[in-house]
Amino acid sequence: MRSLMLKLILAFLLTSVAGVALASVFIRQFVTRQFDNYVVEQHRSNFIDNVSTYYATYNTWGGLRYWLFDQGANRVYSQQNPTPPPPPYLDFILVDAAGVTVLTRDAEKLGERVSAQELAQGTPITIDGRVVGTVIIAKNTIFRDVAEERYLASTDGALLAAAAVGVGIALLLGTFLARLITCPLRELTAASRAIASGDLQQHVPVRSQDELGLLATQFNQMSDDLSRAIKLRRQIIADIAHDLRTPLTVIAGYLESLRDQVLKPTPARFATMHAETQVLLRLVDDLHMLSLADAGELPLIRQSIAPRQLLERVEETYRHTAEQHEVALHIRTEGTFPEICADPERMLRALGNLVSNALRYTPQGGQVTLIARCNAVHVQFVVADTGPGIAPEHLPNIFERFYRADESRQQETGGSGLGLAIVKSIVEAHGGQATVESALGQGAVFTIALPIR
């Protein structure tokens, strides 16, 4: 049985059949027991009324059998049989106040004394405040008549009809619920097959807010992330090829010209080739660092360091660059700070990348502020600039590799596109988080949050 829908229908059906069957059995037993109790109570009440009338009239139990025959509809007494048999409707045992049997179907038990346990199960007969006898139900007695049996039979038929209707309704509801459950699964299966065949733009409708709806939502998110990852991978390959091609082209051009003696070797030309080689080395080093971070193997040499000390070292490193760009570089601390356990060189690299970006995009006369602050669980390093800001559509991808808000792809103005990705990798290796807030015309605020412990 490979169909989930068929399995669900059978499960609903079997559960419903079991429930209806148990309910029918319990209802049948309850109705039969209550009906029998009602019938017994009616017979016993009539019997007690009759024998109480007899005792109140004659003040004795003697002759009760003959009197019952005279009162009953079934008269079997005759002159030829002066000792009549017990009446067929006599379903009770009557004992006197002393516990001696005075009336029973079994004539051999007349005059026998009844045990105290049987007396306790009987119904006492009281006349003028005095117990004169006890009525006990005879064993193996069936009180129902033909009409009463027909009534119970009709009740059984009604229960069977109700059970059949219940099973039918359960089958219909089971089929409906099975379709309702399996429809999203079929849609997910079809979308998964389409993704496997290469069509990544797949979305399934979210029909509910339950687990299936959550699964559909997560599938759509996964499809978007997968499509985005494939697109970024292609973009990364193109960007790496571009960033490698430019310096390699410069180096190859100079080498060919030197080989063919078109150009004469000069220190300036060798310096240009060396600079392009350094660009390649930085790019390879950045890619190597990111690969180590992805594998969770980025080496960290942790030591205790004061947050302000980190900012002072960054400010000292980039002070000259800030002066060249005519940008003010300031440090501000808010409150007191505990020392953090971090790799100083890695953190200097992360903060340096942020400051370098801020200086690159901040216009002359602007300022870049390095801020250290602390809350209950994190020490935060903030790099805020007064540059042009970042458009909202770029913020979600700003930490992606080779992602640039500008499309020029010029390393002189846009870098390699790996700086912020390296920041994110270093911070996450320390157990922290890197975030950005920005708006066009209002500058950008990058925040690094490191756990205190």
Residues 435 and 324 in one domain: yes
Q: CA-CA distance, 82 to 175, in Å (whole number)?
A: 74
3 state DSSP class of 64: helix
Q: In what order do the strands lie in the sheet with 123-127?
A: 101-103, 92-96, 130-137, 123-127
For residue 81, tell me if it sits in a domain: yes
Residues 327 and 442 in one domain: yes
Residues 350 and 275 in one domain: no
Average confidence (pLDDT) over 332-350: 87
Residue 453 has pLDDT above 90, yes or no: no
The CATH number for 396's domain is: 3.30.565.10
Give the pLDDT score at 80: 43
Maximum distance among all alpha carbons in the chain?
160
Residue 324 has pLDDT above 80, yes or no: yes
Most trustworthy range by pLDDT among 82-91, 171-180, 408-417: 171-180
314 pLDDT tier (thresholds 50, 70, 90): very high
Average confidence (pLDDT) over 406-424: 65
Q: How many domains does the chain have?
A: 3
Residues 377 and 258 in one domain: no
Tokens of 58: 């004659």
Residue 396: HSE in the Cβ half-sphere, 13 Å Cα cutoff = 3
Residues 333 and 369 in one domain: yes
Tokens of 452: 């205190």
Cβ–Cβ contacts within 10 Å for residue 275, how many? 12
Q: CA-CA distance, 220 to 228, in Å (whole number)?
A: 12
- Which of the pair, 135 or 227, is modelled with greater confidence? 135
Q: CA-CA distance, 58 to 66, in Å (whole number)?
A: 13
Residues 287 and 154 in one domain: no
Residues 308 and 385 in one domain: yes
Percent of the chain predicted with pLDDT > 70: 91
Range(s) of the domain holding residue 136: 1-198
- Which of the pair, 24 or 90, is modelled with greater confidence? 24
Can you give the pTM of this predicted structure? 0.53
How confident is the model over 21-55, as pLDDT tens digits?
888 888 888 888 888 888 888 888 888 888 898 88
Which of 164-168, 189-193, 290-294, 402-406 is predicted least confidently?
402-406
Mean pLDDT of the chain: 83
Most trustworthy range by pLDDT among 86-95, 96-105, 319-328: 319-328
**Closest to 118 measured CA to CA, from 98, 99, 142, 143:** 99
* Residue 438 phi, psi (nearest 5): -165, 160
Residues 19 and 131 in one domain: yes
**Closest to 382 measured CA to CA, from 330, 445, 441, 307:** 445
* Residue 374 phi, psi (nearest 5): -140, 145
